[in-house]
Amino acid sequence: MKVEDSQVGLLQFLQQSPTPFHAVANMSAVLEEASFERLDLADAWSLQKNSSYYVLRNDSTIIAFKTGNAILAEQGFRITGTHTDSPCLKLKPQPDVVNHGYAQLGVEVYGGALLHPWFDRDLSLAGRVNFQNADGSLEATLVDLRDPVAFIPSLAIHLDKTANDGRLIDKQKELPPILLQLDADEKFSFDEFLLHHLQEKLAKKDANSVLAHEIFLYDTQAPSLLGLRKQFLASARLDNLLSCHIALDALVNCDNNYASVLVCNDHEEVGSVSAAGAEGPFLKSVLQRMMEAESKSNDDFDRAIQNSVLLSVDNAHGVHPNFAEMHDSAHQPVLNGGPVIKINANQRYASNSHSIALIKSLCNRLGIKHQSFVMRTDLACGSTIGPITAAALGISTVDIGIASFAMHSIRESAGIEDVQSVNSVVQAFFNR
Ligand code: CO
């Protein structure tokens, strides 16, 4: 991966993937380009050795894999896991709200969003819409309005003298964005607007009613390289589309010697308990189907798992120079300091000394610096798909990630050099 090419592709991917649905569609396009064959969960599969495939669940979780030519029971699976979702605001099913002549949208908070940065942003809307055609058939499509169509204005400081003193946000009251100012007696229906958009902009001429949608707000500000020496990458959804892009590139470019698997799960930010989430059966069922293509013996799957490793890639907290005391003094990963190995005694991260040693040896062999993160003993630790997948499969796992600032903000930042180094580590992990 040349750094320049990767930067252009990465920035485009981040901007063009405002929702998990769009991220999965864009990853699918990359895989098609690389001659991965698309599978359908509802079909019978006949997998071949030395081949490349991918499969979706709910349009928002994707598993891509190379079958390699090694014996699975003996060599196992090399699995890398990430997630496609990011904390944000999601439209309520009947979002129409009118106040003082302004058409607004009712929203829920998806995941652990840092809410203050959502105010005074140029927001747009994207997601999935399910609709009925004139002949009664059902269809679904992705939408992305792209234009800044909504905003959540702050309250002026003159009307809230304590605004700079740690003001709380009333989520139900303060978050509905403004979409437009209505003329006297004008009515607005978001579903009617969506239907018109489908018919006029997406050439869905036969659409005659919107039945359901999963639509998210997002910031239209483009990703950028930031800082006097452009050492930083700023974007929405770096957690965890950055890892998705890096790991996808590593899978596409790795050798097809071993069974290499990439799983990018939806619903990590809300606990992973869903059909498409890491606690659902998707990954296990795909691994079992890979196994069945090679062996009917009952214990071969367990043998393969015992010989497998999961590399869970998700962003880490870089030490913030203004808040260094929030990190343990001996574990202060910095941006552009190389992959961060994440460890937690209470298994909020799944790294164990075997899997940590493996990653450190890969980094050492590649000449790549590595860092470690452990939470302060008096703070609760976040988690990843790592422990959930480890528990579901019984697979040895290591949690790593890129050090970042402002995790779960509408605009996060990370070190641009880490993109290349983590990409190299993931590719070496697949090839080892
Ligand atoms: Co994450």
Instruction: Report pLDDT digits (tens) over 215-274.
Output: 999 999 999 999 999 999 999 999 999 999 999 999 999 999 999 999 999 999 999 999
Both 275 and 390 in one domain: the answer is: yes
CB-CB contact of 150 with 179 (8 Å):
yes
Identify the pLDDT of residue 269: 97
Both 385 and 313 in one domain: the answer is: yes
Both 258 and 402 in one domain: the answer is: yes
Instruction: Report pLDDT digits (tens) over 384-431.
Output: 999 999 999 999 999 999 999 999 999 999 999 999 999 999 999 999
pLDDT tier for residue 318 given thresholds of 50, 70 and 90: very high
Last residue of a domain, one of 185, 219, 253: 219
Q: Is residue 415 part of a domain?
A: yes
CB-CB contact of 349 with 311 (8 Å):
no
384 C-alpha to ligand 1 centroid (Å): 6
Both 144 and 265 in one domain: the answer is: no
20 C-alpha to ligand 1 centroid (Å): 13
By C-alpha distance, which of 364, 382, 365 is closest to 373? Answer: 382
76 C-alpha to ligand 1 centroid (Å): 26
The 3-state DSSP class for residue 125 equals strand
Q: Is residue 228 part of a domain?
A: no
Once rounded to an integer, what is the mean pLDDT over residues 68-90?
97
83 C-alpha to ligand 1 centroid (Å): 7
Q: Which domain range does residue 268 map to?
A: 3-86+236-431
Is residue 162 scored above 90 in pLDDT?
no
Last residue of a domain, one of 219, 254, 283: 219
Instruction: Report pLDDT digits (tens) over 25-63.
Output: 999 999 999 999 999 999 999 999 999 999 999 999 999
Omega into 240 within 30° of 0, i.e. cis? yes
Both 258 and 204 in one domain: the answer is: no
Quote the radius of gyration of the chain (alpha carbons, Å).
23
Task: Give me the phi and psi of 225, to 5 degrees please.
Answer: -90, 135
DSSP, res 36: P
140 C-alpha to ligand 1 centroid (Å): 27
82 C-alpha to ligand 1 centroid (Å): 8
Instruction: Report pLDDT digits (tens) over 327-382.
Output: 999 999 999 999 999 999 999 999 999 999 999 999 999 999 999 999 999 999 99
326 C-alpha to ligand 1 centroid (Å): 19
Identify the pLDDT of residue 3: 46
Task: Give me the phi and psi of 197, to 5 degrees please.
Answer: -60, -45
Both 69 and 194 in one domain: the answer is: no
204 C-alpha to ligand 1 centroid (Å): 35
Both 254 and 382 in one domain: the answer is: yes
Read off the amino acid at residue 391: A
The tokens of 276 are what?
Answer: 């498409």
Q: Is residue 29 part of a domain?
A: yes
269 C-alpha to ligand 1 centroid (Å): 7
CB-CB contact of 283 with 263 (8 Å):
yes
The rounded distance, in Å, linking the Cα atoms of 348 and 426 is 21
Q: Is residue 129 part of a domain?
A: yes
268 C-alpha to ligand 1 centroid (Å): 7
Both 342 and 198 in one domain: the answer is: no
Identify the pLDDT of residue 1: 42
Both 78 and 97 in one domain: the answer is: no
Is residue 198 scored above 50 in pLDDT?
yes
pLDDT tier for residue 6 given thresholds of 50, 70 and 90: low
The rounded distance, in Å, linking the Cα atoms of 314 and 386 is 9
- Catalogue the E-assigned strands of 67-135: 77-83, 88-99, 102-110, 123-133
Both 259 and 405 in one domain: the answer is: yes
- The whole-chain average pLDDT of the chain stands at 96
Identify the pLDDT of residue 167: 83
146 C-alpha to ligand 1 centroid (Å): 24
22 C-alpha to ligand 1 centroid (Å): 17
Is residue 2 scored above 70 in pLDDT?
no
> What does DSSP say about strands 340-342 and 52-57: parallel, antiparallel, or unpaired?
unpaired
Q: Domain total for the chain? A: 2
Both 82 and 92 in one domain: the answer is: no
Phi-psi region for residue 299, left (φ > 0), alpha (ψ -120 to 50) or beta? alpha
Both 287 and 344 in one domain: the answer is: yes
Q: Which CATH number is 119's domain given?
A: 2.30.250.10
Is residue 5 scored above 70 in pLDDT?
no
385 C-alpha to ligand 1 centroid (Å): 8
18 C-alpha to ligand 1 centroid (Å): 15
DSSP 395-418: -EEEEEE-EEESTTSSSEEEEHHH
Identify the burial level of 321 via C-beta atoms within 10 angstroms of its C-beta, where 0-12 means exposed, 13-18 middle and 19 or more buried: exposed
Once rounded to an integer, what is the mean pLDDT over residues 135-146?
98
